[in-house]
Chain A
Amino acid sequence: MALKTEEMVLNMGPQHPSTHGVLRLELQLEGEIIIDVIPHIGYLHRCFEKHAEAMTYPQVIPYTDRMDYLASMYNEFGYALAMERLMKIEVPERVEYIRVIMGELQRIASHLVALGTYGADIGAFTPFLFCFRDRERILHLFEITCGARLLYNYIWIGGVSHDLHSDFIRLTREFIKDFRPNLKELNDLLSFNRIFIERTANVGVLPLETAINYGVTGPNLRASGMKWDLRKDDPYSVYHKFDYEIPVGSGEKGKTGDCWDRYFIRVREMEESLKIIEQAIDQIPEGDVTSAIPKRIKPPEGQIYTRVENPRGELGYFIISDGSLNPARVKVRAPSFVTMQVFPELCKGFMVADVVAILGSIDIVLGEIDR
């Protein structure tokens, strides 16, 4: 007589230590093997897009902060850029440099959270605290600049709210000097750890074709082997003035596009960001940072789509203006939201422990998925 077996449905989240927020995953299991994953999103929905319609244009900026709360600077950056293109505002050179420095610092801070929590997901807790120690320094830099540590409201349409603090350049240089050895330490402790490689190499492989079909962008796409970075391929701000590389995954420890590639691409991106920041603080010109901010923000009738490379991929703003003080529509193309859709594809056939590893490697932020 054959034994009757049943699939087990396991609810993972929304209160679970490694779903990175309030994601709920419905896992269909056979033993510990995943048959299917159904992500349920929306636990953090705050009606950002509808809310924006009731706000004036500058009032939207604090709300963009709250989407991807680990990369608030970059959300503001994208929104400000879209509005400036819509209103055809020329921003001073210094502002552009400040934005790039802030954006890249934010990218490092965001990747540090991603890598640290990824280590914790795999079971290594110490790298998590090492990463947060370094992130703390970046948050301090933000704090002395604009007073906030997480939700800045710093990049405004046409400028930035405050000029750099007098200590900012010195502290940033010190940070870069201290951070490079720390990055090496992280590599020694986690990236090239034998167990870590066992856990992540050849797990959750995202083939390039699937990635493109699903519209995956950012580090996840680059890990699958495509050199696509909006900073180079659709340049905005002053990114064309700097010399840096776009790291691409090559399947160093397993197949191209596996979890290890997605992890390590972020480590290498942090190194490149350091290069950009170094060049930017050397070249930064003097100037007034608030001179181009319009007294009254009332864009002409029209629409615009602008995209920037935020730490998680292509962050796009589609803004329709009807000529009034409030936007008629603000639509956000959120990179995490797009990446989340490919997640069930990645998980099939792997084990429960791998779900955690894969989820950590695609680095989603629920605030941005749900908006």
Chain B
Amino acid sequence: MMYDWLYNISGSEILAMFVVSLLPLFLFILPFALLAVLAERKVSAHMQDRLGPMRVGYHGILQTVADIIKLLQKEDLVATATDKTLFNFAPLLVFIGSYAVFAAIPFSGFFIGSKIDLGIIFIVGATGLVVAGILMAGWASNNKYSLLGAMRSAAQIISYEIPTLLIILTIIMLTGTLSLYDLSELQTAYFWNWLIFGGPAIGIQKILLIPFMMMGCLIIYTSTLAEVNRTPFDIPEAESELVSGYHTEYSGMKFAMFFLAEYANMFAVSAIVAIMFFGGYQSPFGYLGNTLNLPWLIPIEQFFWFTSKGLFFVFVQMWLRWTLPRFRVDQLMAFCWKYLIPISFVILLLVGLITLI
């Protein structure tokens, strides 16, 4: 893998670790966030008969860069009534939480930050940090709107982790692995080996699994939407009610940290859906590298497939955001506890039975 390869050529363990851990940030998250913010504005604009940013660069492609520069120049405002330590620490925690997820995500068979065996559990755990950060931000701001937003957010994220975990458990049960790398390797070759189409097994079991897998995919996508606070579950930062929820009091780069974390999170959850149900970095129809006998091409192809799957789900998130209205906080909870959790339980049980066949 990348770490071993770097270790071999450089001979320095620290350097290899440094590069591998920083690479996703500089190679991927930062450019992705820049691109995603622009994409969101462009997607929304074209859905709404507008043009969006057009002035900075060709069709506004440099708009986010300009925005970041603006945010960097801004005064770092901290209101007098805030709890300063927590207030300053919260954006970091949120950012760490969403960045840590990328360590375990396999961008390709070659490019994985850390090939840990407990990949899925690690991701779920790291996401938990975000809740703490959000709660911290809301409380430290000493603002009623922030507090309401933070409380809503904590309740929402914790509730929606349950259906997510139940579906993850189903997948673990079915495949017998917790490692995201193994999970991706399992769904190799062609797209009918993807878990949404019942996985690599053949025969009656595969056919029986398909409806449950599709439902599971829908559930996990819905609940991860709620976990990253996207419409229709964006009540923690419902702008028409709570101004901007937990980050109302933040400005400048601290606000940008929340923003960056949000977009990094969007990609992270899309990546999880892609890995669990859509084959991760596997190509849907074989590799050009194999046909042309160019082995070095395969990781690049895999990277391409992985990012396109992830970006597609990010696009769907944006699409939903600009189409749907927002739930109310009690309806949101009811939706999770009354529908998603029971259905995920049923899926878990039935898939368990099917695997016994």
Could you tell me which A residues sit within 8 Å of B by CB distance? Answer: 8, 10, 16-18, 32, 119-126, 129-130, 133, 189-190, 193, 195-196, 198-199, 351-356
Given contacts A123-B234, A352-B148, A356-B241, 11 further A-B contacts (CB under 8 A): A10-B145, A17-B239, A17-B243, A32-B329, A123-B326, A130-B48, A195-B324, A195-B325, A352-B242, A353-B328, A354-B328
Report which of B44, B241, B323, B327 forms a contact with A352, defined as CB distance below 8 A.
B241
Are the CB atoms of B325 and A196 closer together than 8 Å?
Answer: yes
Interface residue? B338 (CB, 8 A):
no
Are the CB atoms of A190 and B240 closer together than 8 Å?
Answer: no
Mask for B207-237, Cβ within 8 A of A = 1, else 0?
A: 0000000000000000000000001101100
Are the CB atoms of B325 and A18 closer together than 8 Å?
Answer: no
A112 to nearest B CB, angstroms?
A: 14
Are the CB atoms of A125 and B238 closer together than 8 Å?
Answer: no
Are the CB atoms of B238 and A32 closer together than 8 Å?
Answer: no
Mask for B306-327, Cβ within 8 A of A = 1, else 0?
A: 0000000000000000111111
Known A-B contacts A130-B48, A352-B241, A353-B328; the reply to A189 vs B144 at CB < 8 A is no
Known A-B contacts A32-B329, A351-B329; the reply to A18 vs B240 at CB < 8 A is yes
Report which of A8, A123, A193, A196 forms a contact with B231, defined as CB distance below 8 A.
A123
B contact residues around A126 at 8 Å (CB): 44, 47-48, 322-323
A-B contacts, CB under 8 A, total? 77
B179 to nearest A CB, angstroms?
A: 37
Are the CB atoms of A32 and B47 closer together than 8 Å?
Answer: no
Interface centre among A8, A125, A356 (most CB of B within 10 A): A125
Report which of B238, B240, B331 forms a contact with A198, defined as CB distance below 8 A.
B331
Bound: A199/B232 CA distance, A: 12
Are the CB atoms of A121 and B47 closer together than 8 Å?
Answer: no
A contact residues around B44 at 8 Å (CB): 125-126
Interface residue? B50 (CB, 8 A):
yes
B contact residues around A123 at 8 Å (CB): 231-232, 234, 238, 240, 324-326
Are the CB atoms of B240 and A122 closer together than 8 Å?
Answer: yes
Known A-B contacts A10-B144, A198-B331; the reply to A121 vs B240 at CB < 8 A is yes
Closest 9 CB pairs of A and B: A123-B326, A124-B325, A129-B48, A18-B240, A122-B325, A123-B325, A353-B328, A121-B240, A196-B325
Interface residue? B49 (CB, 8 A):
yes
Known A-B contacts A126-B48, A130-B49; the reply to A199 vs B148 at CB < 8 A is no
A contact residues around B330 at 8 Å (CB): 351
Are the CB atoms of A8 and B144 closer together than 8 Å?
Answer: yes
B contact residues around A351 at 8 Å (CB): 328-330
Known A-B contacts A129-B48, A198-B331, A356-B240; the reply to A124 vs B148 at CB < 8 A is no
B64 to nearest A CB, angstroms?
A: 19
15 A–B contact pairs at CB < 8 A? A8-B144, A32-B329, A123-B231, A123-B232, A124-B324, A125-B322, A126-B323, A130-B48, A195-B232, A199-B326, A199-B327, A351-B329, A352-B148, A353-B238, A356-B240
Bound: A180/B326 CA distance, A: 27
Are the CB atoms of B324 and A193 closer together than 8 Å?
Answer: yes
Report which of B48, B144, B325 forms a contact with A199, defined as CB distance below 8 A.
B325
Are the CB atoms of B240 and A120 closer together than 8 Å?
Answer: yes
Bound: A76/B144 CA distance, A: 42
Bound: A10/B239 CA distance, A: 16
Mask for B230-265, Cβ within 8 A of A = 1, else 0?
A: 011011001111110000000000000000000000
A contact residues around B327 at 8 Å (CB): 195, 198-199
Are the CB atoms of B328 and A199 closer together than 8 Å?
Answer: yes
